[in-house]
Amino acid sequence: MDMQPLLWEEILRAVNSGQQPTEEQWHALTPDEKELLEGLQKEKLTANSVEFLDSMDENKAWWKLSANIRRHVPGRAVSMRFLKYAAVFAGILVLGGTTLFLLRSRNLPRPVIAGTYLTAPVNPKRATLVLADGRNIELDRSPDSKIQQGQAEINNIDTTLLRYTAAAGAVKPAEFNTLVVPRGGKYKIELADGSEIWLNAETQLRYPAHFGGVTKREVFLERGEAYFKVKQNAQLPFVVVAGGMDIQVLGTEFNVNTYTKNYATTLVQGSVRLSAGTVVTMLQPGQQGVYAEGRFARRPVDVDTYTAWKDGLIVYEETALEEVMNSLGRQYDFTVEFASPQLKERKFGGRLRRTEHIEDVLAVIEKAGDVKFSILGKTIFVDKALAK
């Protein structure tokens, strides 16, 4: 909500226009307001301040202001009342030679406190089904519904599972549908052959309504992450196309992650063949194959770290905090801002349960990671924990 201009803001604009405040107006200002206006005039920053005031982002003022002050002037005593005026009005203040951009919002990020919830509970039961004819169906608005599509029936069960059933004798190749899971969402598909696929947040999968009249079962992971439990059929190989590579299986369980440029396939059981053009590699259970820059690299891993998400768990193994927060941002639909680049490199490891509120997870990371979180709207701010 926009605030009405206060007296010192009106004076600032007047001064910038070449006018001077009356004696009565000047005496009505507090000492901090006078100090602020005098400082801006002395540094010839009134025009910059007015311009910035007219085009500012009001959502991040106090967090950025306080982070900069702690970082650049750790020993300097600064009036909190003065800072509040500065954060409200927006402008440019020079402290210790560092230019700080100040915004005028009174909406300040609130610190995360264990057991206190600033956010609404996340609802993971969300996905959009895009049918071959272009129709979009919001599945959370159509619970326990049925759709007839050619020789296949689609059942949306409890807004968590999309189950396909093919009519007996289906021989004509089916059209392709697409399931889009947004940030904060999670969904499962049971294909017409009985194969099961769990889709993580911010994921998109394209697949046929049934597998009649084809020589292979082919699906396309267009973005995101999915866990596959493939029904065995030696006569009809199952192929996942993801990020320029083909993953071919007969019957197996594996996870595919394409969130970053390093596409990772983690094999739980069975065997898979990874190929990208002429580059080919095979995986055994407990191995992960990463495709990057035209090559595959294999390594042994704890598969639970990469597959626990489908069971509602969040597992990290000494993972950079930037990657941790990007992952949580997807699962809870938040954006993240760091007070400094160095914080992104901090490591965190742990096994957590995905709860309805992100505060539960953040409180645990705070204890182990020497960081402090605060939240404003849909943004999480990451700062260094204050020394005790």
> What are the structural domains of the chain?
7-108 (no CATH), 128-307 (2.60.120.1440), 312-384 (3.55.50.30)
Bridge-partner residues for 298, per DSSP? 289
The rounded average pLDDT for each run of 10 residues, N- to C-terminus, in the chain (388 residues) is 63 86 83 76 75 56 51 46 45 36 53 88 94 94 90 93 89 92 96 96 97 94 97 92 91 94 95 93 95 93 96 93 96 94 92 93 88 93 79
Residue 81 has a pLDDT of 43
Residue 13 has a pLDDT of 86
Cα–Cα distances (Å) from 65 to 47, 76, 194, in that order, read 20, 14, 55
Cα–Cα distances (Å) from 335 to 28, 117, 214, 325, 341, in that order, read 41, 17, 42, 9, 16
HSE-CB at 253 with a 13 A cutoff on CA atoms is: 12
Tally of CB atoms within 10 A around 339:
19
Residue 105 has a pLDDT of 41
Length of the chain: 388
**Residue labelled with tokens 């007969």:** 250
pTM of the full structure: 0.73
SS3 content of the chain, % helix, strand, coil (to 5): 25, 35, 40
Bridge-partner residues for 297, per DSSP? 290
**From CA 35, how far away is CA 1, in angstroms rounded?**
27
39 CB burial (10 A radius; 0-12, 13-18, 19+): middle
Cα–Cα distances (Å) from 254 to 26, 287, 327, in that order, read 71, 10, 19
Cα–Cα distances (Å) from 272 to 230, 239, 268, 278, 316, in that order, read 11, 10, 10, 16, 25
